[in-house]
Amino acid sequence: MSREDQPIAVVTGASSGIGAATATALARDGWRVVMVARRAERLSELVENIAAAGGEAMAEALDAADGPAVMTMAERVRAEWGEPSLVVNSAGAGEWRFLEETSVGEIVEMMGAPYLAAANISRAFIEGMMSQEKGLIIHVGSPASVMPWPGATAYTASRWALRGLHEALCQDLRGTGVRSSLVYFGEVSSEYFEANPGSHEHIPTLAAPIPLSTPERCAKVLLTVVRRPRRVVFYPFALRFMAWLAAITPGPTRWLIARTGRRH
């Protein structure tokens, strides 16, 4: 495959965790990858690692919640590489706290990533995808937008916003050749809980049967979605089962989550 024929992907939250693993996996699979995150030094290291393995990646160090910065980046990507046909919105932030324990600044930051980041990145590239009549936007969601648990109020609200973006895009994109997918993962062994001490204790014990996933395993799931897009995906199976249970027995499920979750 010539360089011009290699598809282009944009991955946010690409400096660590699921984002970094997904960018690496896409590059290995023949994609040219635009890696978006705030940590410039970490992005540069990952771009070098991808190049050493024979892939190609571009580092874009910026806050994806900054709309004008995203639009400037998008123009740069088009000028240097061309039009992306894949966006993976995996940027996310926020500590799990009760609302009264959360500052106004933290609430704004949590809406910034994932919601504003995903909206800005999607907006920057969606017209190009529509003009090509092909493309896929993948959002990495949270079970909190399906089965909210106590003590993660602002975090949960931001994930519901991301879910709303996905659902609205599914309606907007009908007949365009562009699709939107929302992928839910259970607990992942990433830097999140190290960066947000105390959050892990807020996971309801009801979720204990859901096995821990690695970022690399999540990246494999996302590559499967790239090849066979679906509207909504749950991984692992135990999470899918719990989501199904919540859908058919919402009242009892909410009660169990509240009963086994964090309390004031």
Q: Residue for token digits 């990495």?
A: 140
At residue 114, does pLDDT exceed 70? yes
pLDDT-based confidence at 211, cuts 50/70/90? confident
Q: Residue for token digits 């990858």?
A: 33
At residue 216, does pLDDT exceed 60? yes
With contact defined as beta carbons under 8 Å apart, do 132 and 82 qualify? no
**What number of residues does the chain have?**
264
C-alpha separations of 156 from 37, 86, 123, 153 in Å: 22, 26, 23, 5
At residue 252, does pLDDT exceed 80? yes
Tell me the pTM: 0.93
Direct distance between the N- and C-terminal alpha carbons of the chain, in angstroms, rounded to an integer = 58
Question: pLDDT value at position 207?
Answer: 66
Stronger pLDDT, 229 or 196, i.e. the higher one: 229
Domain 3-260, CATH class in plain words? alpha beta
Stronger pLDDT, 115 or 151, i.e. the higher one: 115
Question: pLDDT value at position 96?
Answer: 87
Question: pLDDT value at position 150?
Answer: 87
Question: pLDDT value at position 14?
Answer: 97
Q: How many CB atoms lie within 10 A of CB 214?
A: 14
Domain boundaries, the chain: 3-260
